[in-house]
Structure 1
Amino acid sequence: MTDLVFDLPDGATAAVTVTRLLNAGYAGREQEEVAAHVAELAELGIPAPAVTPALYPVAPYLAAQVDGVPVQHGRTSGEAEWALVVAGPAPEDLLLTVACDHTDRELEVHGVAWSKNAGLDVLGRGAWRLADVEEHVDELRLRAWVTADGAEHLIQDASLAALLPPRYWLDEIADLLVPGTVLLSGTFAMLPGVDQFAQHWRVELADPVTSRTLDLGYRVERMPEPIG
């Protein structure tokens, strides 16, 4: 289990002990496009899910609010996402924050669920109450930047209308979304021509209605080579 603390816009904080961590996958709003993407990944050797959208349970200790993510090799990368945090039993305890699912791409070809359990799910330190943004949730915008050789490059950019909304999951898997649960949304395509295997990831969730933003950033820290 992991203890997380989120700062809310009104100055309050919400503390959550994560007991369940779920990663959505293939969760685009247009499932026909998702099916085409699944076919493309299959050609790269990444196994297709049995159903879409998919849902992958992840070890709860992998939810983290950190500035550095340890990795074992050079082929890991993040994914810009939103996260739904169930901080308590009341409707006002449903929080929305920014997240980045750091995934082992080498392991992904052997099993997506395995790859999700090989890296941290990094969450922002700020959050919004879902009730305060749900009416305009599709207008929220997710962007991600990577840094390589000292230069920052935009790698992902889309509104939340590209993804299934939080309400979809609240309706579909209500029995799983108990207090202490964190659900990551799944992601959308990366921009072409940008190297995802970067030294630093930064993700922003922006609300054009309130002019507020949530962000996170972390270094990708290569661990020493194993001995033996």
Structure 2
Amino acid sequence: MLTFDRIAATGTDRIAVEITTLVIAGWAGRDEEAVRHHIEELAAIGVPPPSSVPVYYRAAAANLTQAPVLEVLGPDSSGEVEPVIVSLADGLWLGLGSDHTDRKAEAAGIALSKQLCGKPVGTTLWRFEEVEAHWDALEIRATATIDGVATIYQQGLLSALRHPRDLMARSPALPAGSLMFCGTLGAIGGIRPSSHFAMELRDPVLGRTLRHDYGITILPVVS
């Protein structure tokens, strides 16, 4: 069960939700030429291309976590800040999450790497309808603590990503109890592991911000 504080124009509440379907939208950038170029770059180093663009990876809903610390196996994983859409009985809600991924496993298979790490999600949601019209103005940012220094790791406007309506029109159905990660921005300075990952989703139109953070504990790889 996940617990969310929901903020809407009509009021706020707190609910406990059982998420039964987890979908991770990949290759969700709006600039299709840039996406194709990145696919070719990765193919050159052995990462297989996606079967479609965008592509919808499935992972176990049990991977979702709101714990303050994420345990990972080995030093080769990293976070990715993403907007998330949560489908509930009373409609769609917008939240914040990290598609934390094992990068070593990613070279063997992206779908496999998505399953190997927990997926942290924030504890606050906004009603999607209240931000839908100004989606492109929303700003997302991640700060990663690397070698003891908090560094801006990702930052940009959601105009760089496909609109959720576009993603949902192409995706499998998202019945109540579904959660979809909606894509991410490039890492500033390259993909790197960190000991702490902090995320923000800022709405300059309504003057509010979603925040979430988590620590990362590395478990030893024993052969």
TM-score greater than 0.5 by the shorter chain = yes
How many pairs does the alignment contain? 220
Deviation at 1:170, TM superposition (A): 2.8
Whole-angstrom distance in 2 between the partners of 1:129 and 1:113: 29
Partner secondary structure for residue 95 of structure 1: strand
5 Å matches for 1:86-125?
Answer: 86-88=87-89, 90=90, 93-125=91-123
How is 1:74-223 mapped onto 2 (pairs within 5 angstroms)?
74-88=75-89, 90=90, 93-173=91-171, 176-192=173-189, 196-223=192-219
> Alignment partner of 1:12: what SS?
strand
Deviates most, 26-35 or 38-47: 38-47
What secondary structure does 1:117 align onto?
helix
TM-score calculated relative to the size of structure 1: 0.92
In 2, Cα distance between equivalents of 1:62 and 1:168: 25
In structure 1, the gaps of 5 or more residues are: none
Q: Conserved in 2, the CA contact under 8 Å of 1:15 and 1:87? A: no
**Displacement of 1:198:** 1.0
Moved segments of 4+, more than 6 Å: none
Contact map agreement 2:167 2:182 (CA 8 A) in 1: no
1:40-55 to 2 correspondence within 5 Å?
A: 40-55=41-56
Gaps of 5+ in 2: none
Q: Determine the C-alpha separation between the residues in 2 that align with 1:181 and 1:12.
A: 19
- State the identity %: 35
* CA positional deviation for 1:195: 6.1
- Over aligned residues, Cα RMSD in angstroms? 1.4
